Homo-oligomer: A and B are copies of this chain.
């Protein structure tokens, strides 16, 4: 299975606008079952899935050696990995009560559900993309990331109205930085329909869904989106703009080509 996919996007460079093909990295949902029990779904690149399954089983403590595994059956088309174990290191039921930790970066939205995307409403009226606002906000955004400059270890996220900053947050996790913004906006009753989210990190399906759930119509990154994020943005009518660097930016979804 391919690890990237071609999308038609609008590439902007200063005054120049061209509809072009662009390679976007595939975000592939892969569900692991152990002895017929569904364990979790990883969002990953669709390569080396057997290695991923084995590595996951070991890292998470399901197995202590290769010989604990009876069989692994990968179905690339269904996106499933069925594992049979000879010996379980502990009962699957034990996991649920444990203190669970999710990644600083991914945060892992362990309750996140594919069905969420179906429950999420399509944006009725998206903001009109304003190139100058986007470039100005990104310039402002880049200047603010103080902790990154000091440590090189964080993601930042900003809520903008036009090119004016409303909230700025940093976190070791890109999901956390966004949740902080969204939580503060909730606390302060900030209207979100006319606002734009800027992020330093990649736009994956989870980032896109968090934004969509709050009715925000525009998300801007200096980095790349994944295929699933582009698909969802198109489905949910969200402006998705990536690789904003100086005078350059890519519009993955928005009202192009008639922009």
Contact of A183 among B51, B113, B210 (CB under 8 A): B51
Say whether A134 faces chain B, with CB atoms less than 8 Å apart.
Answer: no
Chain B residues with CB below 8 A from A99, complex form: 31, 38, 41, 113-115
Known A48-B169, A55-B181, A58-B214; contact A103-B43, beta-carbon cutoff 8 A: yes
Interface residues of A in 31-67 (CB under 8 A from B): 31, 38, 40-45, 47-48, 50-61, 65-66
Query: Do A108 and B111 touch (CB < 8 A)?
Result: no
Say whether A256 faces chain B, with CB atoms less than 8 Å apart.
Answer: no
Query: Do A110 and B102 touch (CB < 8 A)?
Result: yes
21 A–B contacts, CB within 8 A, in A order: A4-B147, A25-B154, A40-B110, A41-B102, A44-B171, A45-B176, A52-B183, A53-B183, A55-B181, A55-B183, A58-B183, A60-B111, A60-B112, A98-B113, A99-B114, A101-B112, A101-B114, A102-B109, A103-B107, A108-B109, A153-B225
Interface residues of A in 200-242 (CB under 8 A from B): 201-202, 204-206, 210, 213-214, 223-226
Q: 19 extra interchain contacts, Cβ-Cβ under 8 A, other than A38-B99, A51-B184, A103-B204? A: A4-B147, A25-B153, A31-B99, A41-B99, A42-B102, A42-B104, A42-B107, A43-B103, A43-B104, A44-B172, A51-B179, A51-B180, A54-B187, A60-B109, A65-B186, A100-B113, A104-B206, A152-B223, A153-B225
The binding surface of chain A is classed by DSSP as mixed
Alpha-carbon distance A40/B224, docked complex (angstroms): 29
Chain B residues with CB below 8 A from A40, complex form: 100-102, 110
Say whether A124 faces chain B, with CB atoms less than 8 Å apart.
Answer: no
Contact of A110 among B100, B170, B202 (CB under 8 A): B100
A110 to chain B, nearest CB (A): 5
Query: Do B54 and A102 touch (CB < 8 A)?
Result: no
Alpha-carbon distance A113/B99, docked complex (angstroms): 6
Contact of A153 among B29, B102, B170, B226 (CB under 8 A): B226
Query: Do B103 and A105 touch (CB < 8 A)?
Result: yes
Residue among A25, A45, A47 having the largest count of chain B Cβ atoms under 10 Å: A45
Alpha-carbon distance A174/B152, docked complex (angstroms): 16
Chain B residues with CB below 8 A from A44, complex form: 104, 107, 171-173, 176
Closest to A45 in B: B171
Alpha-carbon distance A55/B188, docked complex (angstroms): 12
The 9 closest A-B pairs by CB, nearest first: A106-B106, A108-B108, A103-B106, A55-B183, A55-B179, A54-B183, A25-B153, A43-B104, A51-B183
